[in-house]
Structure 1
Amino acid sequence: MRLQSQRYRPWVVTLSVVLTWWIGATPPSSAYPAGGGSLGSLSSSPKSPTDVPLRTLRGRSVELRTDTDPRYAKKLQNKLDSFIAQANTELTRVLEVPKRAVHTTIIVFESQQRYQRYARRHAPALVNNGGYYDGGGRTVVTYRFNNSMQLFFHELVHAIMAEHFGDHHFSRYTRRNWPIWFDEGMSEYLGSYAVKGSGIHIPAANKGKLAYLGNALRHRAFVPLRSLLTARPARFSGASMNIYYAESWGLINYLVNHAVHRSQLPLFFRKIRSGVDGLIAFKECFGEDLVAFESSWLVAVKELIRPPSRPVSLFSGHSIDDWTVHEGGTWRVADKEIRGHGNTNYNYLIKSEVPMKDFTLELEMMVERGTAGLILGNNYHGEYPYYYLVDVARDVVMLRRSYTATRIDPVKQAFADLPLGKWARIKLSVIEGHIALTVNNKE
């Protein structure tokens, strides 16, 4: 596939969009029966992964243990070391703390199934998480598919912050009014990255978190500031976790980039480290009037979620490190193209963008066999995440609407003549609630 660009137009935000590529290996005739079909018809029961021995790669700060592809593992090792160095530098700038030597192990399983088997033995309460930091063993445990590198980085920040707090077991989380938002927000802030050539750069805007914030504002579900400042660990798991993580990132991002507040962050850090109540420390450093503070913060959030007026490229031509591989498939970049080969799972790439109402997506797609397509989704925890599916095959283009994982209804189907192995130009527009799709200039 060759992905060109996405154009955003500056209309009022009403929903967020996750633009998702997927390539299925199943022939379209069996994947999408006429008159219906669901994602379930694409998959087969996953086989239990073979427990191949984990390879060990040792870097400057991180020891990587993994069963992933050796080429991917080597590139990941380099990025993990680069991240640790950049995170230490940014922490020194933001909190005025000395750099700490951090030596951490990270276990990255290829599949979620193998991660879950490991977690059931070592951390059963976290079996459904994307990963976790084991302070006792100074080890991050996670998996590749369905997780972005941002999650890997997030957990590594916990290891760094544990050094600064002198607490690798999170005992501080049990203190009254301990600012969990600060720990988790700093992990989100430092873990948010942008692709720079073949490497990564931190910090960067977290568009997934911006999507959650935009939707929370739209649905009037934004957590009040006082509730965030005093939130207990339970709020950072289950149904509420997405908005609490998003607001924690948003608050740290606001403080770091505020002309006055950023100068108080080092003092706030020293206060809570010395045992001062988190809420009291916040008021002493950033002001007693939480209502006024929250009002200013929301103004800044609304500015961040304003869609850009210029075209935005979703693919740099060099890397898909800022995309998330869902379930499986083989993905690589060659000749400034994204090339994918599917298997029996749901094979697609995910990338989040800021919320928008109207937009146009333009791309070129080549299908060599099977079916390819797009998914437009919503990044809000209160709704099913995938809205519309566009299926593109040799002889048919279909638009489907998904309501749940098992209810996916056809909306419109058109016969097409798309020769396999040749590029097709796709243009998808969402304007005032209406979807328009053209393939090779034909609607």
Structure 2
Amino acid sequence: MRCFRPPGVLFLGLFMLATVNARASDPTWLQIRSPHFRLITDAGEKRAIEVAARCEQMRSAFLMLMPKATADDPAPLLIVALRSHQEVDELAQGRGGKLRHAGIFLPGSDQTFILLDISDGPWRTVYHEYAHELLHANTSASVQMWFEEGFAEYFSTLKSSSKGIEIGEVPIGELQFLRQNGKLLRLSDLVRVNQNSDVYNHNGPLQAAFYAQSWLLVHYLFDHGLINRAQPFFSAMAAGVPLDQAILDSFRIKTEKLEQELLVYARGEKFRYFSLPAVIAGPSPDVTVENLNLVTVSALELEIHWHGRTEHSKVDAMALAADYTSLLRRDPENTAALRGLGLAYLELGEYQASFDGLRHAVQRDPNSAVNHHALARLLNAIDIAGLQDAHPEFSVEQEAQACTSLEPHFADVYRLEALALAARGNFNEAIAMMRQAIALSPRMESYELSLADLELRKHDYVPALALLHQLENSRDPEVVKRAEYFLSSDVQEAVPSGH
């Protein structure tokens, strides 16, 4: 994420979220669709179309630079382009105090959101946040925070013209800060920074140093042809390999030497960048623009607000259901509000009310993969509760197939289909389907836990236990807790000797 930066100052901060409220002036909201992006905005058609065009350019450039990578979104992506950083701040107040935000990246298994202030010179922020999405689709959960932000800053300086695209140019502010500061963080301190660290969450010199050095190290890795060694480094550290050994094994250099080289690199005058062929600029003939009514906007705002919270209570779900019910009084056929209400009732365990809302949403908009996914989630919950006979004309597989016909790379759909196959005893197919979900969304350790569970149920102990031991080293306490449960003595006793 990128925070609002006063002139000459580099301040970035934590991803944060709250709800966007309709303004007193009731601005016109538009939905823009380009070949690979969906965007909603209150900032005007011209600028929003340019944001979509810039994202299309960056997507093409990324695939040229990294042809073995993917640019497919693991979950449907919605970009929310706003008129000011104050609007983004209103989305951020719930989780982080007084930081001023220029952009926020919010990944999820059902939808991913990028929130942007596009009021003035927004392109570095646009590229930075979209770089997070590209990295999210291509790397595991072991990736460290310095690489997350350094990679995003590396791509944020993308420049495009009729002559070509340049990636990896120097962000002058970061470089000036490093040179004025005159020293770098120790690598042992850099790799410990995470999303909960004070360095990451509080504006000040240490935070500025973290972001600047993160950019510097990523640029160094690109410049020295070492970028493909980053993932093995993260995997080694996640497995408990000490920092010095992980650096030596992955980058073929000692820690002290790398720190010295980074300091010299920061003082140097030559920073290489990639020059790529031009990508056609300007609006695509495939771009569509449509007006959004305020009920749809309000429903999407509620969805983003819910999505951004890490914990939800029954009281929260009841309040959410009440909010969606209020919106449906204004527009009873609103698809976004119907879906939201159905998902709120799903959280409350009220399956029939959830089914009524989600079925109606699918009927109103059968071309929405998000609608089909929501209904598939409900049907999976109904199956788990043993209530399959309640709606025999509907099935998880039916909704999953409808969803993947619209969004073939929607990872969570494959997870739901895997669970449905396993419920019928088709473990081989279920395992293959779960592996597909992991391949499409490698950050989702919950999918790996589900895979291990399926392998244990199939009595395929060796890969299951190896995966569970790997997940014991997760940075997510809940993942660790679940992995330890599977590896508890009761589970281990079920494993035949020799496995």
User: In terms of Rg, which structure is larger?
Assistant: 2
When you count helix as a share of all residues, which structure comes out higher?
2
When you count strand as a share of all residues, which structure comes out higher?
1
With normalisation by structure 2, the TM-score equals 0.43
Higher relative contact order (CA 8 A, sep 6+): 1
With normalisation by structure 1, the TM-score equals 0.48
